Amino acid sequence: MKVLKFGGTSVGSAERMKMVADLINDGSPKIVVLSAMSGTTNQLVQIAETLYQNANQEANALIDALHDKYKQVVEALYQTDEKKKQALELISLHFDHIRSFTLDLFTIYEERAVLAQGELLSTALFQFFLEEQGIASVLLPALNFMKIDENEEPDTAYISKNLKLELEKYPETNLFITQGYICRNAFGEVDNLKRGGSDYSASLIGAAADASEIQIWTDIDGMHNNDPRVVKDTFPIAELSFDEAAELAYFGAKILHPSSVQPAKQKNIPVRLLNTMQPQAHGTTISAQTGKGGIKAVAAKDGITAIKIKSGRMLLAYGFLRSVFEVFERYKTPIDMITTSEVAVSLTIDNPKFLTEITRELQEYGQVEVDQNQSIICIVGDFIAERSGSGLKIFEALKDIPLRMISYGGSKNNISLLINTTDKERSLILLNEGIFERNQKNA
Ligand code: ADP
Ligand code: ASP
Ligand code: MG
């Protein structure tokens, strides 16, 4: 069994959906995970924001506009009037559900229900298309098996058990379609795996079904060595280890959801990143194997807050760091980077929700300084294998950029630098020119 995930652009129009149907129609067993059609989740977010503000007229206009877009998709996707009618009825049900939220109190529960509609629509429309084409398939409701616990972590035992139960209902079926992104939470409510979460769904489903391979089909030919939205001259990387890919995903390479490598790594299932627009391209294979050593890629993550605690007297005292970490633990706020000196410890967080509380508690241990609008630049590769020279190239390339923190040695795959977000684009461009070999670019 393979798991194939198609992202928003890959199912972004009737034409694209037809291409996906062609790609998957080879008779081999697979679970196909779909995102919402591109733009839909953003539009649902906008509808939810409008509903929070009680701007119901505006919300209805946005809902009608999105509904119209789907009516056009229906017109272009199906041949028979019968299927068109069936699909129009189905999308009306979804949009009436969204409209119902204009009539009552709007809270986070209703918001999550609104956000779920994108994946519910794309999968239902795709299943109807397969039916019309006579391709045998079953639509599996992700809400029957995908679940997060009270810490918003996937409940892998539940997912495995319930996915297997769902699959066992259809012993004759080779092709399953399901929704990415959406899940139930510990209270049984509709929830989601955060933006970009369909990759995570695919990886969790792959792990739960003991898949032989997880394929992430998107709009680019694999993981590139640098952010193609910022840097012009980037190139795809043929092979990455699980750890290298996990670092890149976590530190901002948008092609993969930050947590999506972990479930595949745990079950040692290779992940292939492939391009729907260019299905023959090699893409990127992520597996337990590390390709050749040296620097492989660079990614950047914005919205970082740096916190420095200065305390000459306390820092070396037994238990000081534990006390500091406990503050973050109490507020369930993960720390990304950490550096220490004799008089201070600096660390970074990407979730500033409890910043005020955290800062107040840390003041017990020393003088606290907070810098917002920071970015982490993460340089990924196999630094042990290469042993020397990488550091020099990186610092030479960034000699004119003020570096706020440097972290090296935490793992053999990662060198992280903290900079002002205003310096990010320039840093990525400078690194692209300075640290990648010519022959790598031509590979
Ligand atoms: P999907 O809708 O298929 O999930 P995404 O937009 O989430 O697609 O991810 C693909 C996009 O990620 C690419 O179009 C590209 O702009 C962006 N991206 C950012 N960093 C990288 C990188 N290092 N390699 C490849 N793509 C990247
Ligand atoms: N549709 C969701 C989003 O736009 C999930 C995904 O595309 O992965 O974030
Ligand atoms: Mg994505």
DSSP notation for 303-335: EEEEEEEE-TTTTTSTTHHHHHHHHHHHTT--E
Burial grade of 62 (CB within 10 A; 0-12, 13-18, 19 or more) = buried
Indicate whether residue 9 lines ligand 1 (CB < 6 A): yes
Q: In testing the pocket of ligand 1, which one of 254, 275, 431 has its CB within 8 Å of the most ligand atoms?
A: 254
**Which residue, by CA, sits nearest to atom 26 of ligand 1?**
255
pLDDT computed for residue 412 by the predictor: 85
Atom of ligand 2 nearest to the CA of 118: 1
Angle at 129 between CA 127 and CA 135, to 5 degrees: 80
pTM summary value: 0.94
Indicate whether residue 227 lines ligand 1 (CB < 6 A): yes
95 CA to centre of ligand 2 in angstroms: 19
Atom of ligand 1 nearest to the CA of 222: 25
Pairing of β 138-140 and β 30-34: unpaired
Atom of ligand 2 nearest to the CA of 198: 8
- The rounded distance, in Å, linking the Cα atoms of 431 and 177 is 41
Burial grade of 106 (CB within 10 A; 0-12, 13-18, 19 or more) = buried
Indicate whether residue 20 lines ligand 1 (CB < 6 A): no
309 CA to centre of ligand 2 in angstroms: 37
- The rounded distance, in Å, linking the Cα atoms of 388 and 392 is 8
**Which residue, by CA, sits nearest to atom 16 of ligand 1?**
229
CA proximity to 398, closest of 422, 371, 433: 433
Tell me which DSSP letter residue 132 carries: H
Record the tokens describing residue 347, joined without a space: 């660390």
Indicate whether residue 191 lines ligand 1 (CB < 6 A): no
Atom of ligand 2 nearest to the CA of 181: 5
Tell me which DSSP letter residue 148 carries: B
Indicate whether residue 255 lines ligand 1 (CB < 6 A): yes
- Please list the pLDDT of the chain residue by residue as tens digits (443 residues): 999 999 999 999 999 999 999 999 999 999 999 999 999 999 999 999 999 999 999 999 999 999 999 999 999 999 999 999 999 999 999 999 999 999 888 999 999 999 999 999 999 999 999 999 999 999 999 999 999 999 999 999 999 999 999 999 999 999 999 999 999 999 999 999 999 999 999 999 999 999 999 999 999 999 999 999 999 999 999 999 999 999 999 999 999 999 999 999 999 999 999 999 999 999 999 999 876 778 999 999 999 999 999 986 655 677 888 899 999 999 999 999 999 887 889 999 999 999 999 999 999 989 999 999 999 999 999 887 666 778 889 999 999 999 999 998 888 889 999 999 999 999 999 999 999 975 565 44
pLDDT computed for residue 443 by the predictor: 47
Atom of ligand 1 nearest to the CA of 225: 23
- Which residue type sits at 440? Q
**Which residue, by CA, sits nearest to atom 4 of ligand 2?**
41
pLDDT computed for residue 401 by the predictor: 97
- The rounded distance, in Å, linking the Cα atoms of 286 and 245 is 7
**Can you say whether residue 223 is alpha, beta or left, with left for phi > 0 and alpha for psi between -120 and 50 degrees?**
beta
- The rounded distance, in Å, linking the Cα atoms of 193 and 148 is 8
pLDDT computed for residue 442 by the predictor: 45
Record the tokens describing residue 359, joined without a space: 């800062």
Ligand nearest to the CA of 180: 2
Indicate whether residue 196 lines ligand 1 (CB < 6 A): yes
218 CA to centre of ligand 1 in angstroms: 7
**Which residue, by CA, sits nearest to atom 6 of ligand 2?**
196
413 CA to centre of ligand 2 in angstroms: 28
Indicate whether residue 298 lines ligand 1 (CB < 6 A): no
- The rounded distance, in Å, linking the Cα atoms of 155 and 277 is 34
Indicate whether residue 12 lines ligand 2 (CB < 6 A): no
Ligand nearest to the CA of 6: 1
- 338 touches 418 (CB < 8 A): no
pLDDT computed for residue 386 by the predictor: 64
C-beta atoms surrounding 104 within 10 Å = 9
Q: In testing the pocket of ligand 2, which one of 11, 181, 218, 257 has its CB within 8 Å of the most ligand atoms?
A: 181
pLDDT computed for residue 385 by the predictor: 66
**Which residue, by CA, sits nearest to atom 8 of ligand 2?**
196
426 CA to centre of ligand 3 in angstroms: 25
